[in-house]
Amino acid sequence: MAQVTRVSLADQAADLLLERIRGGEWEIGAKLPSEMTLVPELGVGRSTVREAIRQLAGRGILTSRQGAGVFVTALEAPEDLSDVLRRSDIAAVLEARIAIETEAAALAAERRTGADLEGLRAALAERERDFPDVVSLVAADTAFHRAVIVASHNPVLVELFDSFAPRLRDAMVEMLELPRAGRIEQDDATHTALVDAIGAGDTVAAAQESRDHLEALQIRIAG
């Protein structure tokens, strides 16, 4: 049963400000009036105006500059990455993986520690065992590829991988559950070669192994 929800004054004030911004009262780059000016215009208290501005700043509409004031930076809130990923097909996600993971593999070969190698080998061994279902296999495969990203010691790459991992897992499960799908024999060998290249510190080979694997996956999904 639907319930009536109470919209806070700050939410209402934020909506009014956004409506005025979209209506052209303040263009991108323009400075908003002071809080004291906005208080009587919006009919709310100063703390409510401050919270409304904070909300719009969090959505990328406004930005506060110390000692200068509050400025309009956008007319629409930037789209959340998770929303983009939900609408993207698996081909687009794989293209992003190639861009991210080939570089991550090269960085892993350059920066990996002994602990990283232990983690990679453990993830590889886990991935190679027999699984009772496709979901478990995909989870192990995702964990392995994440271990490669972690070994790059670049937190931004880890965050990017984590952002599209759920979308990737869903597509992989769907693909592997098709009647024609089967585990490719050379798949395990490719992952082993990637770990070996990272262990040897061979940045070129690591990047190439990662690219070859993901491009083969592209072909498999497209087929």
Give the domain ranges of the chain: 9-72, 81-222
The pLDDT, as a whole number, for residue 64 is 87
The answer on pLDDT for 53 being more than 80 is yes
In CATH, the number for domain 81-222 is 1.20.120.530
The pLDDT, as a whole number, for residue 152 is 97
Helix (H, G, I), strand (E, B) or coil at 219: helix
Distance CA 187, CA 178 (A): 18
Q: Over range 14-27, report the average pLDDT.
A: 90
| Helix (H) or strand (E) run with residue 36 in it | helix 35-42
Distance CA 197, CA 1 (A): 57
Q: Over range 15-20, report the average pLDDT.
A: 91
Q: Over range 22-38, report the average pLDDT.
A: 91
In this structure, CATH architecture of domain 9-72: Orthogonal Bundle (1.10)
Q: Do 9-72 and 81-222 share a fold? A: no
Distance CA 179, CA 79 (A): 37
- By the 8 A CB rule, do 120 and 152 touch? no
Q: What mean pLDDT, rounded, does the chain reach?
A: 84
- By the 8 A CB rule, do 52 and 13 touch? yes
Per-residue pLDDT tens for 143-163? 999 999 999 999 999 988 888
Distance CA 162, CA 167 (A): 10
Q: Over range 115-122, report the average pLDDT.
A: 96
The pLDDT, as a whole number, for residue 133 is 82
pTM for the predicted model, two decimal places: 0.62
Report the candidate in 65, 46, 57 with the shortest Cα–Cα distance to residue 21: 57
